[in-house]
Amino acid sequence: MKLITILGARPQFIKAATVSRAIVEHNRRATSDHIEERILHTGQHYDANMSDVFFHALEIPRPAWNLQCGGIGSHAEATARMMTGIERVLLDERPDRVLVYGDTDSTLAGALTAAKLHIPVAHVEAGLRSFNRRMPEEINRVLTDHLADRLFCPTRAAVEHLRREGITDGVMHTGDVMYDAALIFGRLAAGRSTVIESLGLTPKAFYLATVHRAENTDDATRLTAIVRALIEASTPTCPVVWPLHPRTRSRLEAYGLLAPLSDAVRLTDPVDYWDMVRLEQSAAAILTDSGGIQKEAYFHRTPCVTLRDETEWTETVEAGWNSVVGCDPDRILRALHAPSPTRHEIADYGDGHAAEKIIEALLQNEVVRDFAESCAPG
């Protein structure tokens, strides 16, 4: 099978690493049905620490193509430029299938372009819903699910969301590839990162913050409220550490928030994957608007405070590991300092072998498709 994987943003690199490793292992052991995977990188994340180093750190095959579409304008401009570049590659290569991950503009661009060329699309992390159509990620994930013919769901709730939208064919609950990654790479992080030591941090005596979603960064009122909470939460004995996404830094500067924030919060440049894992493992709590980091917090058994009004990962809330508080400073601080609730494990994320299940399903589908084509008249 000739497979083109389309990636563009940090969370996708981590997810793809587990599947790419499973493909390598499958090809090593299989006597037939080999998978030829080639990666197309849209360049959506254009900072080296948020893109280039991931391929080296996670042992992902180097991209065969890089469209360099990062930071070029609006969602429409970025998606259109990605689609133009993706279309050229797909027309030249004619893969048997396209594989996309998550909910970014790269995800939608890959799925829509492939579907218009009648190339089957598989979607990893299908079925997630925040039910907030103001989020561009929600639009991306809904449309991608309706374009894909293979939908790999991390939870049973995701399967149910698809059923309610009339999507049942090709749907599979595989567990979460991010959990695979946490098990594989979490054990390696301590030997590959010195970020705790280099920043002079004490494990479990600092808070980790990440903010990048447009609903927060593009709204001066929301971002100001979040900054106020982070400044108040940060103390000499338990500082807030915030690796700044490039777009978030530019918004902080535009709103006049960067200078007062710098006086109270430990701001850093974007960190590489191993450093991020160490920070997540070692933090007393994580404050984030990232869907992926909400899960990573649970995987490392670190409490999470979600700076959004809703979450796709409702099971993390139900299990007591995550508090969804929006941007209200009082709610943020209460969630940080509240007594620990009763917490329990989440079985829905699987057994750490989601990537292998995805490969098996893709190959099974390919055999069925080949058989059907061989039986077609003419």
DSSP 127-165: T-----TTSHHHHHHHHHHHH-SEEEESSHHHHHHHHHT
**Helix (H) / strand (E) containing 180:** helix 177-192
Residue 127 φ/ψ region, left for φ over 0, alpha for ψ in the -120 to 50 degree band, beta for the rest: left
Give the pLDDT score at 272.
Answer: 85
Give the pLDDT score at 51.
Answer: 56
Question: Looking at domain 2-176+350-375, which of 3.30.565.10, 3.30.70.3270, 3.40.50.2000, 3.40.50.300 is its CATH number?
Answer: 3.40.50.2000
Give the pLDDT score at 49.
Answer: 54
* φ/ψ of residue 342, rounded to 5: -70, 130
Give the pLDDT score at 373.
Answer: 44
Does the 192-348 domain belong in CATH 3.65.10.10?
no
- The catalytic residue among 212, 245, 300, 353 is 212
Q: Which of 37, 12, 207 is nearest to 100 (CA)?
A: 12
Q: Tokens for 249, please give them.
A: 């830094």
Give the pLDDT score at 10.
Answer: 77
Q: Which of 297, 282, 342 is nearest to 179 (CA)?
A: 297
Residues of the chain with pLDDT under 50: 50, 367-378
Q: Which of 265, 257, 234 is nearest to 332 (CA)?
A: 234
Torsion of CA 258, 263, 266, 271, to 10 degrees: 30
Q: Give the span between the Cα atoms of 273 and 81, in whole angstroms.
A: 27
Give the pLDDT score at 245.
Answer: 85
Give the CA distances from residue 221 to residues 20, 160, 227, 309, in Å, rounded to whole numbers and listed in that order.
Answer: 41, 35, 10, 14
Give the pLDDT score at 36.
Answer: 97
Tally the C-alpha atoms within 13 A of residue 252's C-alpha that lie toward its C-beta. Answer: 20
Give the pLDDT score at 75.
Answer: 86
Where along the chain do the CATH 3.40.50.2000 domains lie? 2-176+350-375, 192-348
- Is 245 a catalytic site residue? no
The model carries a pTM of 0.86
Which three-class secondary structure state does DSSP give residue 95?
A: coil
